[in-house]
Structure 1
Amino acid sequence: MTAVSDALPPVPDPALVSALAADLDASDFRSEPLRRLWGEEADDALGRGVREPLLRAVDGDSSALATLGRLLVLGMPQPAALVSAALPRLGAEGLAALGLARVSGADAVPTALVRPQSFVDADGIGEWWIASDLDELALGTELPADHVLGVGGASRTLAELIVPTPVGRALDLGTGCGIQALLVSRHAGEVVATDVSSRALAFAALNARLNGVSNITFQLGSMFEPVEGEAFDLIVSNPPFVITPRVDGVTAYEYRDGGLIGDALVEQFVRSAPAHLTPGGIAQLLGNWESVSSGSDPSTGPGAEGSTTSGLDRLESWIAPDLDAWVIQREELTPLEYAELWIRDGGTTPREPTFGRMLEAWLDDFAGRGVTAVGFGYVLLRRGAAGRAPLRRFERLSQPLSAPGRALRDGLAAHDVLGDGIPQTLVTASDVTEARHYMPGDDDPSVIELRQGGGFGRTVSADTALAGFVGACDGELTVSQIAGALADLFDVPLADLWAELEPRIRELVQDGFLVAAS
């Protein structure tokens, strides 16, 4: 039988939560003070799951910050007297009443973590206190099936992807500890946060109160069931998309496993979300999608013998053709790599006898369904304007991304602008540079590259005509004037030059190398 948490979910009692927030604020319980307390090297080691350097750094330190760091960041028991001194308004007993600890003899034993989480968005720099279940480092064992995860890498990734546009109503589907709902609340009038786990909703409600956020409501239920018939300007989701075999001996974690076969949960989301979008509304999620051998995926029809349907092609087939769709695949893993990743994520290492059995179960599941690879990436859907050709981008990007949320916003805006044709006057974006490569002794470059410093960090090969066009886009000359000058320079018919340049210019506008002059 799969283990579940022994600790009860937290109780967001308003008075107690207010006392906790005041105590954490008074002790300066925030990321930078904690990092200074135990040092950058120890803080970085904790991010890798190693806590010994941190413990050495605060050994014998009974200050409020050190006590709370050991108790709430590491999940280690502390003397109740020290905890009450560190939390003078709440006390150890109040922390227990909130469901975040229990008092056992002379000690306060944590039953949850509370960690500061800094963030940067369009409105500036901020920080939340985020409560979640004890992690495997604190538990010293495999995570229970109903574990409520804190802020992990996927949460931070989705936060960076959210298009930074003010909206009226937003939905955080599968809210978990509530971090996305909190972030979205900063530019939404109202946020609805849903989850299939009542335990997760309790943590999310506590975190909203702890951080003084009042425009979020919480609803229990699976997928879109709690918001049937409702529409939103923005839907965000870090859903439980992990592909897990449905066999005994393999734990199905609520925070990452949606209970469906293969990538069916992602399919269900992209098929269902559009019905809950307002005109112009956007849905964004993280997900996995499988590449499958021919005959294994009935949704895409029969394939040639020995062929494979890529995950991106399968995903595209699930999205209605009249929707704007922008999908970015960040990585692709083999079945073995994928299985190892998620077995370790649950706290099981190769040293444990269960590791091999779980690995076999994963590989058997993939083999039985003809899965050859699993992609991971980002999905953006938009209900675009009627009568406009939809945006359809399905691409693979592995390079580092800078402010991808703004890049997605600008890409959508560029698509809308291009619907009326190439703007009359263009300006080269400030982050674009040009690199030219020459063979020794040559006067003319053999390779010209346009490089994007921000956004998606794209590199585009250019010929001398396209490079000349981009170089002339300073907002003074119109597009037609620049094209005419280049036709004269290269002594070619303008119509021929424009036929070659026009689609390349469109691509550069779409990708943010060129922007409409203001």
Structure 2
Amino acid sequence: MSNASVVQPLSDPDTVDRLGADLRSAGFDAVGVPELLGPGAHRALGRGEPAAALRATRDGSPLATLVRLFLLGATVDETAGARALPTTGLPAALAQGLLERDGDEVRAALDVRPHATDDDEFLLVSDLDSDVRPGPVRPDHVLGLGSASITLARAIVRDQVGTALDLGTGCGVQSLHLAGHADTVLGTDVNPRALALAAATARLNGQTWDLRRGSLFEPVDGQRFNLIVSNPPFVVGDGSTRFTYRDSGMPGDGVGRAIVEGARTHLTEGGTAQLLANWLVVGDTDWRERVGEWVAASGCDAWVVQREIADPAEYVGLWLADAGEDGRSGGDRAAANALAAEWLDWFAAHRVRGIGMGLITLRHNGSDQPSVTLDEIAGEEITGDEVRAFLTSRSWAESTDDARLLATRFELAPQVLLEQRALPGHEGWNVVFRMVRRPGGPGATLQLDEWSQALLAGCTGAVPLQVLVELLASAHSVPPGALAAAVVPSVRVAVMRGLLLPVGA
């Protein structure tokens, strides 16, 4: 039977509307659920520890039953299920793949959960993960809210745009956020089940998206967008597709490269593309060589941030566990070991010593000489505000000639810190390391020499940089031109990293 002939879950709009009414009536939202569970049980559930939440949901109320079904993966008797879904109705819930029978009881067949942000609250529909539902997930499993989707959502530049593309929408996490600042949202996915659940997510939240089936940019051939976001199936391997949510069908890191290189032809001038990607770190080469080729071929300005690099064995273990294929909980350990060995053999054959994980931001500026920055930033969250600020500051620093830069007044960004290290000497402490840092800013550090340290200390916004250079040169009897040539490169980097702010620019 082809995918086209399969009845997808929650494909009946009326059932989705009735489900929404039941969830709202019961208080199944980002306020009601934590209040029911209590702080301790709610925090424990967030850590993957359900025992306290199960204990807090024994009263049989509609809200307790909904939590047990959709957030805890528990079974309930049919009477309790019908009482929790009076408008939807148990027959429709079963027929539409929302619930399924488990002996004399029923259990959730889908994950339905509240998702709150600082500004809004949503309901999200996806498949149940392997830690809630025993055994491997479905081959066409639709991933729900996870750390990767949250990371990407926080990193998106939230400027108002006309058109936005969610490439590989899955259950629609990114589209939910895009609808708040895009006039039109278009989502694509190769998986029909994902499109069905994305449509249900959109309807539950009163949103309308243009959803299209197809791989990568095929469904939007000839179209351009102000913003493209993508959390694609980026897991790297031999190109086989066991699970559509993680496996692109392209060998190695081909899917990341394909999205990066195809972005420019689908961006309006001035448009931005942001995606999560994994890439191979091969042999003795630096990861920047590989990913640098991608972004150079894109023809776009780029900021690439590698947030971590994973050991191949850890990487394989992570993704086998994510899909429920690691042989735990009574699974087939021999099959799990064989899968792991095959995957690791592929890495070894291709001399893969690590897998880089990070965020790629592209901006189509129409230039034949795009600007590219490739950073390693671990332990810092990349926010959309920081991405916008970096792209803007880098553009200003690179387009401003020396004469204009020296004529500009600068001030240090708020909360910038100077850190020094010194070694003891015969005449006291000798400073051997100087660095300025902006707490909370990704990559917001700059190593200084004593000249640039003194110069930045004078950047209060009162006088142009040229005046500060001349005063410093006079105090130390050095030519102003030579000092300016020595410190201007550090000033440019300080501006790019948000450490130094042009006044009135």
TM-score, reference length from structure 1? 0.88
Alignment of 1:184-199 (within 5 A): 184-199=178-193
SS at 1:203 equivalent: helix
Alpha carbons 2:239, 2:247 under 8 Å: kept: no
Tell me: CA distance 1:481–1:246, structure 2 relative to 1, closer, same or farther (3 Å).
closer
Structure 2 Cα separation of the partners of residues 320 and 437 of structure 1: 38
Structure 1 residue identity aligned to 2:180: R
Q: Kindly tell me: are residues 138 and 9 of structure 1, through their superposed partners in 2, closer, same or farther at Cα, counting changes over 3 Å?
A: farther
CA distance in 1, matches of 2:252, 2:362: 21
Deviation at 1:339, TM superposition (A): 1.5
- Deviation for aligned residue 1:107: 4.0
Note the alpha carbon deviations across 1:272-311, whole angstroms, 9 max, x for none: 1211111111111111111224xxxxxxxxxxxxxx3333
How far apart, in 1, do the equivalents of 2:415 and 2:189 lie? 40
Structure-2 separation of matches of 1:484 and 1:15: 74
SS at match of 2:463: coil
Q: Give deviations 1:211-270, integer Å, cap 9, x for gaps.
A: 1112x21000011100011111111111111013357xxx71100100111111112111
Q: 1:468 to 1:64 in 2, by over 3 A?
A: farther
Quick check: 2:252–2:280 contact (8 Å CA) kept in 1? yes
1:203 — aligned with what? 197
Amino acid at match of 1:360: A
Alpha-carbon contact 2:380-2:441 (below 8 Å) kept: no
C-alpha contact (below 8 Å) 1:196/1:221 kept by paired residues: yes
Separation in 1, partners of 2:24, 2:455: 55
2:452 matched to 1:447?
Answer: no
Question: Is the aligned partner of 1:158 residue 2:152?
Answer: yes
- Measured in 2, the distance between the counterparts of 1:147 and 1:179 equals 15
Alignment partners' CA distance in 2, 1:426 and 1:52: 56
Equivalence map 1:298-313=2 (5 Å): 308-313=284-289
After superposition, where does 1:77-156 map in structure 2 within 5 Å?
Answer: 77-102=75-100, 107-120=105-118, 125-156=119-150
Counterpart mapping for 1:266-345 below 5 A: 266-293=256-283, 308-320=284-296, 322-345=299-322
Q: Which residue of 1 aligns with 2:244?
A: 254
Provide the residue aligned with 2:230 in structure 1.
237
Residue in structure 1 matched with residue 221 of structure 2 by the alignment: 228
Per the alignment, residue 370 of structure 1 pairs with: 351
Letter in 1 for 2:81: V
d(CA) in 2 for partners of 1:448 and 1:105?
68
1:406-417 correspondence to structure 2 within 5 Å? 406-417=385-396
The 8 Å contact of residues 291 and 372 in structure 1, kept in 2 or not, is answered as: yes
1:347 to 311, 315, 324: 324
Aligned residue for 1:349, secondary structure, equals coil
- Counterpart of 1:477 (choices 452, 463, 472) is 463
Letter in structure 2 aligned against 1:504:
S
Confirm or deny: 8 A CA contact 1:114 1:129 kept in the other structure: yes
Report if aligned partners of 1:196, 1:222 keep a CA contact under 8 Å in 2: yes
User: What secondary structure sits across from 1:139 in the alignment?
Assistant: coil
Q: Secondary structure at the match of 1:171?
A: strand
Letter matched to residue 228 of structure 1: D
Instruction: Tell which deviates more after alignment, 322-331 or 435-444.
Output: 435-444
- CA separation of 1:347 and 1:442: change in aligned 2, threshold 3 A: same
Q: Deviations over 1:428-449 (max 9, x none)?
A: 2113222344556837744332
Contact 1:93 1:103 in 2 (8 A): no
2:238/2:250 contact within 8 Å kept: no
Q: CA deviation at 1:55?
A: 1.2
Judge conservation of contact 1:244–1:252 (CA < 8 Å) in 2.
no
Following the alignment from structure 1 to structure 2, what is the Cα–Cα distance between the partners of residues 485 and 96?
79
Aligned to 1:381: 362
1:390 to 2:384 alignment: no
Q: Shift of residue 100 of structure 1?
A: 1.1
Please give the secondary structure, in 2, of the residue aligned with 1:136: coil
Counterpart Cα distance in 2 of 1:18 and 1:482: 66
- Seen in structure 2, the aligned counterparts of structure 1 residues 491 and 65 have a Cα distance that, compared at 3 Å, is farther
Deviates more, 1:84-93 or 1:238-247: 84-93
Q: Is the 8 A contact 2:239 2:252 kept in 1?
A: no
Judging changes above 3 Å, is the alpha-carbon distance between structure 1 residues 472 and 71 closer, same or farther for their aligned structure 2 residues? Answer: same
The whole-number CA distance in structure 2 between the counterparts of 1:445 and 1:290 is: 39
- What one-letter code is carried by the residue in structure 2 that aligns with 1:242? V
- Return the alpha-carbon distance in structure 1 between the equivalents of residues 64 and 187 of structure 2: 33
TM-score of the pair, normalised by structure 2:
0.90
Structure 1 residues 375 and 156: alpha-carbon distance in aligned structure 2, compared to 1, 3 A threshold: same
Shift of 1:417: 1.6
Q: Deviations over 1:178-212 (max 9, x none)?
A: 00111111111111100000100000010011011
Structure 1: runs of 5+ lacking an equivalent: 294-307
CA shift, 1:156, in A, is 0.7
* CA distance, structure 2, for counterparts of residue 477 and residue 255 of structure 1: 55
Relative distance call for 1:353 and 1:16 in structure 2 (3 A) is same
**What is the 5 A alignment of 1:25-44?**
25-44=24-43
Counterpart residue number, 1:303: none
Any unmatched runs of 5+ in structure 2? none
The 3 A distance-change label for structure 1 pair 36 and 468 is farther
Amino acid corresponding to residue 13 of structure 2 in structure 1: P
For residue 414 of structure 2, what is the aligned residue in structure 1?
Answer: 430
Q: Which residue of 2 aligns with 1:15?
A: 14
Q: Which amino acid aligns with 1:219?
A: R
Does the residue aligned with 1:165 lie in a helix, a strand or coil?
coil
Mark the CA change 1:84 to 1:427 in structure 2 (over 3 Å): closer, same or farther: farther
Name the CA distance, whole Å, in 2 between partners of 1:106 and 1:488: 89
* Bigger Cα displacement from structure 2, 364-373 vs 16-25: 16-25
Residue type matched to 1:143 in 2? Answer: V
Aligned residues of 1:399 and 1:457 also touching (Cα < 8 A)? no
Using the TM superposition, give the Cα deviation of residue 331 of structure 1 relative to its aligned residue in structure 2, in angstroms: 1.3
| Per-residue CA distance 1:448-491 (angstroms, 9 max, x = gap) | 32111123053322233323332322222222222222222333
